[in-house]
């Protein structure tokens, strides 16, 4: 079994590669910089540039492609130029994969296409699953077009799985950015604290991706979120309790808007309560279904 992982050098990709290697998969990483692949993984992982003419030769009926590549969404203010990079990097990666598969004439076993719960747009208090429509806003538009960028593979008969991922809790990523105020006794909810946080422990993010790669019955969109999404207020309380720190100091919405611009309203001050209905129906067993245990595992 071979996995070709586009964007495998990132936060999720690195953990996914460990999970897959422990379970007998050979790994090839598509990267803008194969040197970065070598410095992260050593010789156990082959790194290839996107434009390397050899990677189509690696396609075969047992190959699964995982497409995680894209400009980081939370790395800075959403200027117009950044928004374009966030959107275009994703569309380009998807279209490139389709083009290479089409030209090679060899269909892979499956494509796992990354997406995000931002697909559903800002939502209030309703619990939603994969049957919900896409919502409003920049992230919803990006994810719709990102998902569509590899749709042509389905028309070629390839099993395609879309992973609408929530906030991944691991060593890095969003949790690392949230920790400093809590550690300095300044932690608390962002804005009203009523916005939904659909989180998932990294062990389940990569466990679910492997489950979907190996389970040939699965296809279409799956929410990769724990079965117990919470409001931010509760997230902050459990985080504070886990760290043995206060959790009541609210960060006002206007401060977040000053610091982060547009990104504050869509990514920090609003959210959604998303359930992994299809993953549960397919028989995936969560290692960390509850936030208390997930945070204790990562932080204590």
Please give the Cα distance from 206 to 106 (Å, whole number): 26
Tokens of 179: 């920790």
Nearer to ligand NDP, 9 or 150 (CB): 9
CB of 244 to ligand NDP, least distance (A): 25
Q: Give the count of beta carbons closer than 10 Å to the beta carbon of residue 280.
A: 16
Residue closer to ligand NDP (CB basis): 28 or 69? 69
Q: Binding to ligand NDP by residue 5, rule CB under 6 A? A: no
Binding residue for ligand NDP, selected from 19, 26, 71, 129, defined by CB under 6 A: 71
Binding ligand NDP (rule: CB under 6 A), the pick from 28, 45, 46, 114 is: 114
- Residue 171 touching ligand NDP (CB under 6 A): no
User: What separation in angstroms does the CA of 181 have from each of 59, 67, 130, 224, 258?
Assistant: 46, 33, 34, 27, 17
**9 part of the interface to ligand NDP, by CB under 6 A:** yes
Of 58, 140, 167, 197, the one binding ligand NDP by CB under 6 A: 167
Give CA–CA dist 85/108, Å, rounded.
28
Q: How far apart are CA 69 and CA 79, in angstroms?
A: 20
Looking at beta carbons only, is 38 or 174 nearer to ligand NDP? 174
Q: Are 37 and 6 contacting, i.e. CB atoms less than 8 angstroms apart?
A: no
Q: What residues make contact with ligand NDP under the rule CB under 6 A? A: 7, 9-13, 31-33, 36, 68-73, 85, 89, 93, 114, 116, 165, 167-168, 173-174
């Amino acid at each position: 079994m071979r996995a070709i992982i586009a964007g495998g050098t990132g936060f999720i990709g690195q953990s996914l590669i460990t999970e897959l290697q422990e379970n007998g998969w050979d790994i090839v990483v598509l990267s803008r910089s194969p040197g970065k692949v070598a410095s992260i993984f050593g010789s156990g992982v082959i790194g290839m540039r996107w434009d390397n003419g050899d990677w189509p030769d690696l396609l075969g009926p047992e190959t699964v492609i995982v497409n995680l590549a894209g400009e980081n969404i939370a790395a800075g203010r959403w200027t117009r130029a950044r928004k374009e990079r966030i959107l275009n990097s994703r569309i380009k990666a998807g279209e490139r994969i389709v083009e290479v598969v089409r030209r090679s004439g060899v269909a892979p076993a499956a494509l796992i296409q990354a997406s995000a719960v931002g697909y559903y747009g800002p939502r209030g208090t309703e619990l939603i699953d994969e049957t919900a429509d896409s919502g409003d806003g920049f992230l919803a538009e990006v994810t719709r077009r990102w998902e569509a960028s590899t749709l042509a593979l389905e028309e070629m008969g390839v099993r395609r799985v879309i992973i609408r991922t929530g906030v991944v809790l691991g060593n890095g990523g969003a949790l690392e950015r949230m920790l400093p105020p809590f550690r300095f006794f300044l932690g608390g909810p962002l804005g009203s604290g009523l916005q939904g946080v659909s989180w998932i422990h990294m062990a389940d993010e990569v466990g679910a991706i492997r489950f979907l790669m190996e389970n040939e019955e699965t296809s279409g969109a799956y929410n990769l979120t724990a079965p117990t999404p919470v409001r931010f207020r509760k997230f902050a309380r459990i985080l504070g309790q886990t760290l043995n720190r206060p959790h009541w100091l609210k960060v006002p919405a206007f401060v977040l808007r000053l610091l982060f611009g547009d990104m504050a309203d869509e990514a920090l001050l609003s959210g959604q309560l998303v359930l992994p209905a299809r993953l549960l129906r397919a028989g995936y067993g969560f290692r960390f279904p509850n936030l208390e245990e997930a945070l204790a595992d990562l932080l204590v």
